[in-house]
Amino acid sequence: MELALGKLPPDVLRKHLLGMTGAPSPDLVIPPSIGVDFGVIKKGRDYLVVSSDPVTGVKEKVGWYAVNVSANDVATSGNRARFIQSIILLPEDATVRTVAQISREMHRTAAGLGITIVGGHTELTPGLQRPIVVTTAFAFARRFVTAADAEDGDTVMLTKSAAVEGTAICASDTTRFTGGVDAAIIRRARGFYRKLSVVEEAVAAFATGKVHAMHDCTEGGVLGAVYEMSYASSLGFELQEEMIPLAGETVYVCSKLGLDPLRLISSGTLLLAVERGREAEVSEAVRSAGSRVTAVGRFRKGERVLVRREGGREIIGEPPTDELWKLVDSKGM
């Protein structure tokens, strides 16, 4: 069986990875599962929330992305990451300047989020075309939610807009575009990396007690995240395309590159399953944290459906492949 770029399909994960967990432990509360981005270990009255994530498709601000993506995954539990470890793999032509740049970015980003970097490993690795950074984030918690906790009837809510991270990545290299581009729009799109963190909005939303589940919209974008949350929660969904916010810069970049913004990587966009009728409370909490949130559909039993703007219904039968990989295939990123 050939594998496509990006995340492994659920059937491969189920057959070859999810059961391969070594020695069993009664302290493991949340084991590896599809759609859930962190594990949870029970120790006394507390829980340890742990999440790992790689940064593989980015050339610029790698350290910034590396800290944020793992911190975001932990934040979807409702808790702030306290510590991070990192593995930095560098191409053979890397210089000391490359190492210094990545480490400075990680230090500044972690400090801004109140996270302590506790160690890791750094090396030059044969065969790499660009740096790959893997981070593991840790949080101590008394309570948490997971992406598997959405309930039938919950409102699907989305912070910021779709394809936040993908917009920044795509705009970072104008050689990807054919023909002329609007420099002002590209400059604003490149600045979307500043929106990458979901920590404040996730913690604020969780504090309302009205959020059943959360998920960061990473690879596969908004549709990928909704699919994963519904899969983990054994539910379907009905998502309204016309209700999903899209920034003008995202529309411009995706139109130029022929990409679907709903399937484009979107760290910085937080997906929430909110108790029906309590949307206003969650919206106010997110607003107080400096962000915004929009109701875009509902979790329910049955099929996974995207209602298109023109009224058509698209069945989302499997997790979407991220649109970013199209650029890898065509341009080598």
pLDDT tens digit sequence for 209-225: 999 999 999 999 999 99
> In angstroms, rounded to a whole number, what is the distance separating the alpha carbons of residues 295 and 211?
13
What pLDDT, in 10s, does the model give residues 78-136?
999 999 999 999 999 999 999 999 999 999 999 999 999 999 999 999 999 999 999 99
Please report the beta strands in the chain, taking only residues with DSSP state E, as ranges in sequence order: 28-30, 39-43, 46-55, 83-90, 116-124, 132-141, 155-159, 211-216, 236-240, 270-274, 293-300, 304-307, 313-315
Q: Return the sign of the alpha-carbon dihedral for residues 291, 294, 297, 301.
A: positive
Share of the chain above pLDDT 90, in %: 84
Q: Quote the Cα angle for 136-294-10, to 5°.
A: 45
Average pLDDT, the chain: 94
Does the pLDDT value for residue 331 go beyond 60? no
What pLDDT, in 10s, does the model give residues 57-75?
777 899 999 999 999 999 9
Q: Which CATH superfamily is domain 147-331 in?
A: PurM-like C-terminal domain (3.90.650.10)
Does the pLDDT value for residue 330 go beyond 80? no
pLDDT for the residue numbered 312: 94
Query: Which segments of the chain belong to CATH 3.30.1330.10?
Result: 25-141
Query: Which segments of the chain belong to CATH 3.90.650.10?
Result: 147-331
Kindly report the pTM of this predicted structure: 0.92
Q: Which CATH superfamily is domain 25-141 in?
A: PurM-like, N-terminal domain (3.30.1330.10)
Q: Which of 16-20, 49-53, 86-90, 91-95 is least confident?
A: 16-20
What pLDDT, in 10s, does the model give residues 177-203?
888 899 999 999 999 999 999 999 999
